[in-house]
Amino acid sequence: MADALWYFARGSGVISLVLLTVVVALGIGARSGRTAFGLPRFAVNLLHRNAALLAVVFLVGHVVGLLFDPYAQLRVFDLVVPFAGNYRPVWQGFGTLAFDLVIAIVVTSLLRHRLGARTWRAVHWLAYLCWPIALLHGLGTGTDNGTAWLWSIAALCAATVLAAVAWRLTPSFTRYPHRADRQVNSRLLPAVAPTSGSTPTPAGAPSPHAGTSPHTGSPTPAGMPGVPEEAR
């Protein structure tokens, strides 16, 4: 009977890893501003959010299961403070760390209207740190370490997230890629260290959509007024 908790804890741990994978992929999908699987954007966004909440439910199950498990011998302390455990402290510590990060990401997300976009986004990017840590934890700690099925699940999860991140990094990621190249009046760019021998952009510079990267021209010498796009 005592084994039931053990199975439950392991099962819910694996399920939360899979869910977190889905959450990260959907978060990236939502960030692209595209529709996916025939779903409108707001639905992708909601799915991302609800999958995250579900992942937290399983994560809590995983952690509470282990807390009461006679073998794991966790203390409440171990659920919050990483790397202090008795059993495989490093791998278990990764789990605690990932748990803390997930809680931080979810709590700030639920309060994002209070916190503001900046704070929320800063914390939310920890997701890219949280997921690999959770994966390491899952592979390193468990009894199932080394079993073929766990490795297959982990490999599938890793492939999913790597593909999503790779897509995130491609220039055509967003729905309106050309918008990312919008031209910023050089006076509005952050000050650049004085450059010598740079060729100033000709006044009759190319049109906004000349297909060049936003930073082609070298910084305009101070005092040369940029030409607002509307003026053309």
Partner 1 sequence: MSRLHVDWTACDGRGLCAELLPELLAEDDWGYPVPKGDLTVPPALEPAARQAVDRCPALALRLTAVSAERAPASS
Instruction: Please give the residue ranges that form the binding site for partner 1 (CB under 8 A).
Output: 30-31, 33, 40-42, 45-46, 112-113, 116-117, 120, 175-176, 179
User: Based on the number of CB atoms within 10 Å of its own CB, is 159 exposed (0-12), middle (13-18) or buried (19 or more)?
Assistant: exposed
With CB under 5 to 8 Å by kind, the binding choice for 88 among partner 1, ligand HEM, none is none
Please report, as residue ranges, which positions from 155 to 174 form the binding site for ligand HEM (by CB under 6 A). Answer: 168
31 lines the binding site for ligand HEM (CB under 6 A): yes
Partner residues linked to 132 by β-bridges: none
Cβ of residue 229: shortest distance to partner 1, in angstroms?
Answer: 14
The rounded distance, in Å, linking the Cα atoms of 33 and 1 is 48
The rounded distance, in Å, linking the Cα atoms of 12 and 55 is 9
With CB under 5 to 8 Å by kind, the binding choice for 81 among ligand HEM, partner 1, none is none
The rounded distance, in Å, linking the Cα atoms of 68 and 170 is 46
Using alpha carbons only, give the angle 161, 166, 171 rounded to the nearest 5 degrees.
145
Query: How far, CA to CA in Å, does 138 sit from each of 19, 129, 179, 225?
Result: 13, 15, 40, 57
Q: Choose one: 1-9, 25-33, 81-89, 217-225; the region binding ligand HEM (CB under 6 A).
A: 25-33
Asked if 154 and 135 touch (Cβ cutoff 8 Å), the reply is: yes
Cβ of residue 18: shortest distance to ligand HEM, in angstroms?
Answer: 12
Please report, as residue ranges, which positions from 57 to 116 form the binding site for ligand HEM (by CB under 6 A). Answer: 102, 105-106, 109-110
Asked if 29 and 164 touch (Cβ cutoff 8 Å), the reply is: yes
For ligand HEM, the closer CB: 177 or 225: 177
Task: Indicate which single residue of 17, 18, 23, 74 sits in contact with ligand HEM (rule: CB under 6 A).
Answer: 23
Query: Where does this chain bind ligand HEM (CB under 6 A)?
Result: 20, 23-24, 27-28, 30-31, 45, 48-49, 52-53, 102, 105-106, 109-110, 124, 127, 130-131, 168
